[in-house]
């Protein structure tokens, strides 16, 4: 009797060229001027770190024809992102800014507007983690995390919208932690959930000028931030992931690209979870 081949328990969706950041640009943002707030990336292990969400978004926007202003708290990291853009033949500008400082945010918007000759797109890839539970987080720490995760995006929108061209697009980056209590970090989860309410109000305010606002919920993503979170919570990503692997930063970036591009010109005040179905199944 012939032996039967054992079948794998689960099909793992292989990465596409887009998943790996290897697909060519298609001109989807030609002539656009995009500010990526949080376009650098943290370092977890410099020797093995994959690309982070903000850097992938910045490079992809430039690859698709946009001028890109890369803002980050860490100027060196923003400059490294810009170097990737320029090495590919794109046009990028680095800006150092702290989103908890209103003066810094206003300067960031002015610098981006001046460097690119206008502004018609912005991605708010802003966020910091907190401790697990409630008792371990002091009121001061709670407020500090909300200052970054919620007040920072609000300040960016308030400063940017008067400088936006009509018909622009704003994309908020939240997390599926806003949809389910998987992270156990109440301060992080609740602050990321608050972005949905902020996004809908920005969409309402921008509607008369055709300025769209939408939100992306990344799931488990293999980035330096994700690996840092996994080091603190060894069970992160060990459970059932419907597609059998974590997302790449490029896969998040392509969802952002859709919301920035004219392909979504009639879409505003909407959300998209890029999580292989984790939040819905």
pTM for the whole thing?
0.92
pLDDT in tens, 100-154: 999 999 999 999 999 999 999 999 999 998 889 888 899 999 999 999 999 999 9
* CATH topology (fold) of 33-274: Rossmann fold (3.40.50)
Helix, strand, coil share of the chain (percent; to 5): 40, 15, 45
Residue 238 pLDDT level (bands cut at 50, 70, 90): low
Q: Which residue has the tokens 């994309």?
A: 171
Chain-centroid distance, C-alpha 36: 9
pLDDT in tens, 160-206: 999 999 999 999 999 999 998 878 889 999 999 999 999 999 999 99
Distance (Å, whole) CA 125 – CA 225:
12
Structure tokens at 177: 């932690």
> Max alpha carbon distance in the chain (Å)?
77
pLDDT in tens, 11-49: 777 899 999 999 999 999 999 999 999 999 988 777 788
Chain-centroid distance, C-alpha 273: 12
């Amino acid at each position: 009797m012939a032996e039967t081949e054992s079948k794998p328990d689960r099909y793992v969706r292989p990465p596409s060229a887009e998943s790996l950041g290897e697909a060519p640009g298609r001109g989807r943002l030609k002539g656009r001027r995009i500010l990526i707030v949080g376009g650098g990336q943290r370092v977890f292990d410099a020797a093995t770190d994959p690309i982070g969400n903000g850097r992938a978004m910045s490079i992809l926007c430039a690859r698709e024809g946009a001028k890109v202003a890369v803002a980050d708290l860490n100027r060196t990291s923003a400059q490294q992102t810009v170097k990737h853009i320029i090495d590919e033949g794109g046009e990028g500008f680095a800006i150092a800014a702290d989103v908890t400082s209103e003066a810094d945010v206003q300067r960031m918007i002015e610098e981006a507007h001046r460097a690119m000759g206008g502004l018609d797109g912005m991605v708010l890839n802003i966020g910091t983690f907190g401790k697990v539970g409630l008792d371990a987080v002091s009121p001061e720490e709670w407020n500090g995390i909300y200052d970054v995760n919620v007040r920072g995006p609000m300040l960016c929108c308030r400063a940017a919208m008067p400088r936006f061209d009509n018909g622009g697009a704003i994309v908020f980056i939240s997390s599926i932690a806003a949809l389910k209590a998987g992270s156990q970090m109440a301060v992080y989860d609740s602050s990321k959930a608050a972005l949905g309410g902020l996004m809908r109000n920005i969409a309402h305010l921008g509607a008369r000028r055709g300025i769209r606002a939408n939100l992306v919920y990344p799931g488990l993503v293999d980035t330096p931030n994700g690996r840092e979170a996994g080091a603190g919570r060894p069970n992160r990503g060990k459970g059932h992931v419907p597609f059998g692997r974590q997302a790449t930063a490029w896969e998040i970036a392509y969802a952002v690209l859709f919301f920035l591009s004219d392909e979504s010109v009639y879409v505003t005040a909407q959300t998209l979870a890029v999580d292989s179905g984790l939040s819905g199944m």
